[in-house]
Amino acid sequence: MRSYERVVATINLESPDRAPIMHSPLPGALIKYGEKLNAIFVRYPQDFGPSRFTIPKPEELPPQYKMGTHRDKWGVLWRSSVDGIHGQVCDYPIKSWDSFEDYRFPPLKVPLEELRDRVSKLRRKGYFVILGFEPGNFFERMQWLRGFRNLLLDFLTKPKGLYELADRLLDYCLRSISRVLEAKPDAVSFADDWGTQDRLMVKPDFWRSFFKPRYREMFKLVHEHGAYVYFHSDGYIMDVIPDLIEIGVDILNPQFSCFKLEELANAVYEKVCVCSDIDRQYILPKGTPSEVEAYVKDVVELFSHEGRGGLICRGEINIDVPLKNVRAMYRAFKRYGRYR
């Protein structure tokens, strides 16, 4: 099978030859390991694009990944202590709703011709193409603009500005997604970390009343253009997984280490394709290669629907993951992810 066919069969539970592989290095890991990491990727090629990554130059990193303190185009100030690792917000533009009327989102600039060229080149090589959009998230963007504590208090007090911000941001996202879809990707990626280690950051009923309809509108637009929805969310999000499936998520990327794997597998069984997140809190950074292999074996057995698809093999590589464990993870993907 070519990569595109393999991924589509996996999403649709239609018996691919093996579980697709996705590479997911953080910029910091590429900076730290360089071509040693690329050598592993090339040995175990992915199904979503070339397997050799450009090593980022620290001075060219986005503000939120650059060591030191840097302000982005949204007016958010970021602080990071390591090049290539996502920093924390230390200043935000919407400090009060009185100032919100004067705040302007950055101009929407979608490099459409560049995206079309990228999709065309990848598709000619048989890859399944996932594109992001600006800003790529919704809840997190609201946090970064308003401040996390302020936003949670807004959820309780429900000021008018909260709804105006959400509606303006939704309109911005819809326009951005529409432009990206003109490049005809196979999927559009969304990312919002909704969970703590053991629960949602907000009450599920509020999530369903406030965020679910807005996600539904974005996902509907993607589906109307014949593309799939890829959704990443860290933390324990069990309460809203059925809702995400209901409103159109086709590929779900949850943080495995926040779940009992059997519980997560039961929640998604025959409902949605899962892109794995090999335990990056304990197993990948601190485990032995044999423990990594055993974990991957369990993941494949639980999520591949007995060889009918439903699993994309992925593990995020951070700067704390030793290369021996990266190799063990990909060896296990290849060994256990091949179906009869």
- Spatial separation of the C-alpha atoms in residues 41 and 289, rounded to whole Å: 17
Assign 305 a pLDDT band (cuts: 50, 70, 90). Answer: confident
Integer angstrom CA distances of residue 122 from 8, 21, 131, 311: 15, 16, 11, 22
- Spatial separation of the C-alpha atoms in residues 202 and 210, rounded to whole Å: 11
What average pLDDT does the segment 22-27 reach? 98
pTM for this structure? 0.97
Q: Provide the pLDDT for residue 306.
A: 83
CATH architecture of the domain with residue range 3-54+101-336: Alpha-Beta Barrel (3.20)
**Whether pLDDT at 16 is above 90:** yes
Q: How many CA atoms, within 13 angstroms, populate the side-chain half-sphere of residue 42?
A: 9
The enclosing H or E element of 163 equals helix 160-181
Listing DSSP states for 90-137 in one string gives EE-S-SSGGGGGG--PPP----HHHHHHHHHHHHHTT---EE--SS--
- Spatial separation of the C-alpha atoms in residues 95 and 306, rounded to whole Å: 51
Q: Provide the pLDDT for residue 340.
A: 73
- Spatial separation of the C-alpha atoms in residues 30 and 37, rounded to whole Å: 7
Contact assessment for residue 233 and residue 192, using Cβ atoms and an 8 Å cutoff: yes
Of 110, 106, 74, nearest to 92 (Cα)?
74
pLDDT digits (tens, 9 = 90+) for 150-195: 999 999 999 999 999 999 999 999 999 999 999 999 999 999 999 9
Q: How many CB atoms lie within 10 A of CB 307?
A: 17
- Spatial separation of the C-alpha atoms in residues 275 and 282, rounded to whole Å: 19
Q: How many CB atoms lie within 10 A of CB 160?
A: 9
pLDDT digits (tens, 9 = 90+) for 71-97: 999 999 999 999 999 999 999 999 999
Domain residue ranges of the chain, discontinuous segments joined by + = 3-54+101-336
Contact assessment for residue 213 and residue 220, using Cβ atoms and an 8 Å cutoff: no
Assign 12 a pLDDT band (cuts: 50, 70, 90). Answer: very high
- The DSSP 8-state label assigned to residue 211 in this structure reads I
- Spatial separation of the C-alpha atoms in residues 101 and 40, rounded to whole Å: 50
Q: Provide the pLDDT for residue 307.
A: 84
- Spatial separation of the C-alpha atoms in residues 301 and 107, rounded to whole Å: 46
Q: How many CB atoms lie within 10 A of CB 180?
A: 24
